[in-house]
Homo-oligomer: A and B are copies of this chain.
Amino acid sequence: MPYAQLLSDEQLELIRNNSNIVSYNKKDSVFRQSTRTSHIMLLASGLVKIFKEGRNERVVLLRMASPGEYIGMLSVMGDQIHQYSATAVETSEICFIDINAFRNVLMENGKFSLKLMSIISQDGLFIFNRLINQTHKQLPGRIADVLLYFADNIYGKSQFDFPLTRRELAELAGTTKESFIRTLTEFKHDKIIDLDGSHVRIISMDIVKTLSELG
């Protein structure tokens, strides 16, 4: 439980007694857009993709959720209808917390409540920035953003395996599979990255950052 230090023993106990852990395999859906929210969900382990499904199969990948992060919180606190979908990208465990128990704790614990507000706000601001970048950067900048996203936010290192297919990566970058592949291949030819299947190594972090900044 994150920020457990803000909770009293009784509150922690209450939440524990009203939680249960559910396991998901790769590609399992966790919840679908437009369904009613039922629980607070906390990713305990694994990796989950959060995405919006539009008409004509358009998908916008909003973010990846890592362990310790709440998922679907904006929808739960907002209008109680999931505004996006979530699917496990790796074997994952999610802690489902009864919403009433959670609300009761929020009601009586101002500090925790404020902390959660801060999390919700930062969550919102983070996705704003991603979407604004998508709208106003052109391809190389957006692909650089995806590389930095995994390197900095998800894995914390410049060498990693993409946990997503090219199509999904394109959805994260706000482009098409073909354009994503092309641009990534250019990066490889320009020796900005090493690329072998899903394995990537950022050779020149400086160039990637510059590409991201220039847009």
Chain A contact residues, CB within 8 Å of chain B: 52, 54-55, 58, 60, 62, 73-79, 83, 103, 106-108, 110-111, 113-114, 116-118, 120-125, 127-129, 131-132, 134-136, 174, 213, 215
Contacts and interface: CB of A to CB of B under 8 A. Distances in A.
A75 B125 CA distance: 8
A33 to B, nearest CB: 12
Contacts of A78: 118, 121-122, 124-125
Which of A58, A74, A108, A121 has the most C-beta atoms of chain B within 10 angstroms of its own C-beta?
A: A121
Copies in the complex: 2
Nearest to A128: B127
Contacts of A127: 124, 128
A113 B73 CA distance: 15
A101 to B, nearest CB: 14
Which secondary structure characterizes the binding site on chain A?
helix
Contacts of A129: 83
Given A78-B125, A121-B78, A131-B128, A136 B54 contact: yes
Nearest to A213: B55
Which of A60, A113, A122 has the most C-beta atoms of chain B within 10 angstroms of its own C-beta?
A: A113
A77 B132 contact: no
Contacts of A113: 106-107, 110, 113-114, 117
